Amino acid sequence: MRTLALCIGIVASAAYAQGDAYTEVFYSSGSLRIQAYLYRPPGDGPFPVVIYNHGSRDGRERASVPFEYIGRMLTKAGYVVLVPERRGYGKSDGAIWWQEVGNSQSQLVARLQAETDDVLAAIPYLQSLQYADTKRMAVMGWSFGGIVTMFAASRSGAFAAAVNQAGAALSWDGNPSLRAALIAAAEKSATPALFMVAANDRTTSSITTLADIYKARGIPHRAVIYEPFTPTQGRPAAPGHAVFSAQGTAVWEADVVRFLDRHLKRELSEADTTLMGMRLGKDGLSDVLSRIGLAPLTPKGEQAPDELCYAAENPFEATWVVFGSGARGRWEVLTHFRVLSSAPADLTCRRTPLITAMVATDSGIHKGMSLQELHTRLGAPSQTEGGRVVFASARRTLRGTLENGRLTAFEIVSD
């Protein structure tokens, strides 16, 4: 790999103080100066990191394109995002890819491997940022960027996850050298991957072939083929390819964030998910009844949970605790609990001296806890928006309501 160097310059974007905040940065990749756009969530961090790789954008290579829809999506979910303009794009040094490749199919592979150098060269720069946790880092890309993503995941162990959005879908059938290079990358990579493509892209084979290799090797992955997508702008020959533009985020955003959260966010511990001695996924509502006492059971229907509600004996403490199981009849497993500051409208609750305003999980999560304390305990939130905060991990999720930066209520759910 080429010699890596740290950032040689940072220029603040005019948009930085606004909602779509990014900073224009420059770092070195060998002898080249690479432009990139850096997005940071609010707060001190450290936050997990995603490097996003753009596609080829023929005819607009020298335009600076910060991919603000990606920045918004992922910073909202609690990620630092870096979007490099690889060599030959934007203000970065180097020739435009087609000037270097010409009509040589094999030369395209060499060129995209060189662009992968530019992506890997960003890692030392990111490591210099105190608020970026590069031990929890993913690489993601669309089209040419999906190819670069697979190459990067096969060449470096720095990534905990990879997201390939229609990588090589436009060139798979016509370039045997590229097919072979991507197959080799999939046969080498140990990075968990999310493979994504629309059914009406030029081909789905560039995604399904790599996913099948991952499956045969036992590497964690998920493959998604979306319904045919019709873009509202432009008339591309392969309309499904546009699903990964800003036009199609509603189709795939939740899948991407869920996958990244699963592999990059800290897992809530058993202590985080134990309340009043009741453990999610291990104890049942029968255990709640035997330890806390009788309470009215509130059946919710065949597909909704049963719940037991208890309230603080002293009404001035204004605290209610709800324990719930999964579908009706599954009393053997607790799937969630809620700690509230107001009585749930749909439940009948029993008052008990065991409930106080300071009721807390075994790890100390309680009403009145500050968002900064939650950051310290659980890492970066998956979402902080409109007085709500979410900490999502692979198997458990904490959702909280905030007022003046402190929890007024929270729910912890076991998947």
Residue-wise pLDDT for 352-398, tens only, equals 999 999 999 999 999 999 888 887 778 767 777 778 888 877 678 89
Residue after which a domain boundary falls, among 264, 282, 310: 264
CATH number at residue 92: 3.40.50.1820
> Has residue 142 been placed in a domain?
yes
Query: What pLDDT, in 10s, does the model give residues 154-166?
Result: 999 999 999 999 9
Residue after which a domain boundary falls, among 264, 290, 305: 264
Domain identity same for 102 and 218: yes
> Has residue 73 been placed in a domain?
yes
Domain identity same for 18 and 161: yes
**What is the rounded average pLDDT of the residues 322-326?**
85
Quick check: 343 pLDDT over 90? Answer: yes
> Has residue 221 been placed in a domain?
yes
Residue after which a domain boundary falls, among 206, 232, 264: 264
Give Cα separations from 4 to 29, 91, 122, 125, 327 (angstroms).
Answer: 6, 19, 8, 9, 54
Domain identity same for 237 and 347: no
Domain identity same for 177 and 66: yes
Quick check: 3 pLDDT over 50? Answer: no
Query: What pLDDT, in 10s, does the model give residues 212-263?
Result: 999 999 999 999 999 999 998 876 789 999 999 999 999 999 999 989 988 8
Domain identity same for 182 and 234: yes
Domain identity same for 237 and 123: yes
Give the number of other CB atoms < 10 A from CB of residue 310: 23
> Has residue 269 been placed in a domain?
no
- Average pLDDT of the chain is 88
Domain identity same for 82 and 103: yes
Domain identity same for 328 and 248: no
Tell me which residue range forms the domain holding 333: 274-414
Give yes or no for a contact between 239 and 326, defined as CB atoms under 8 angstroms apart.
Answer: no
Q: b/e for 93-125, b at 16 or more Cβ within 10 A?
A: bbeebeebbeeeeeebbebbbbbbbbbbbbbeb
| Whole-number pLDDT of residue 200 | 96
> Has residue 17 been placed in a domain?
yes
**Both structure tokens of 207:** 């995604």
| Whole-number pLDDT of residue 298 | 60
CATH number at residue 305: 3.40.33.10
CA torsion sign, 287 to 292 to 296 to 298?
Answer: negative
Domains in the chain, number: 2
Domain identity same for 97 and 132: yes
> Has residue 224 been placed in a domain?
yes
> Has residue 374 been placed in a domain?
yes
**What is the rounded average pLDDT of the residues 327-338?**
73
